[in-house]
Structure 1
Amino acid sequence: MKIASSTPGFVGADLAALTNKEGNLAMKRIIDVRKVELLGELADGEDAEEWWRKPWPPEEMANLSINMADFEV
């Protein structure tokens, strides 16, 4: 509701496109943070290009979300 009230004149399709775009930006933010963390944890000899193959632990998956801050940027 907060998003709709902050976007006067938007119709349903506009709000759907906005939330889709913000979801994509949130995913990029989450993945970029994870990449930096995993690259910092690499042991000697590990391939830096393999960071994305590491599984997401359940506690990390539980914290994945899109929040209002993603819309306010």
Structure 2
Amino acid sequence: MDEDDFFSSRPQDPLTQVTKQDLGPLSIDELKARIETLKAEIERVETHMVDATRHRSAADELFKKS
């Protein structure tokens, strides 16, 4: 077991596993597909952040003290 895995707060986190994967065996097409998948995930996370910010702002407005 790698020392970083042992001391990581989330050693089974899929993002951690993805960032440690050896890219050497992957073909150019596989690397391109990986990039497209990562870009789609970035877009999904950014959309969620916008929605969460809107939700938080609405809640703050609703419960703000006058």
Question: Which protein is bigger by CA-based radius of gyration?
Answer: 2
Structure 1: state its 5+ residue gaps. Answer: 45-73
Name structure 2 gaps, 5 residues minimum: 1-18
Deviations 1:21-73 (A, max 9, x none): 000111111111110001122356xxxxxxxxxxxxxxxxxxxxxxxxxxxxx
Identity %: 5
Instruction: Choose between structure 1 and 2: higher helix proportion.
Output: 2
Q: TM-score, normalised by structure 2?
A: 0.52
Aligned pair count reads 40
RMSD: 1.9
Runs of 4+ in structure 1 off by over 6 angstroms are none
Q: TM-score, normalised by structure 1?
A: 0.47
Larger RCO (CA within 8 A; separation ≥ 6): 1
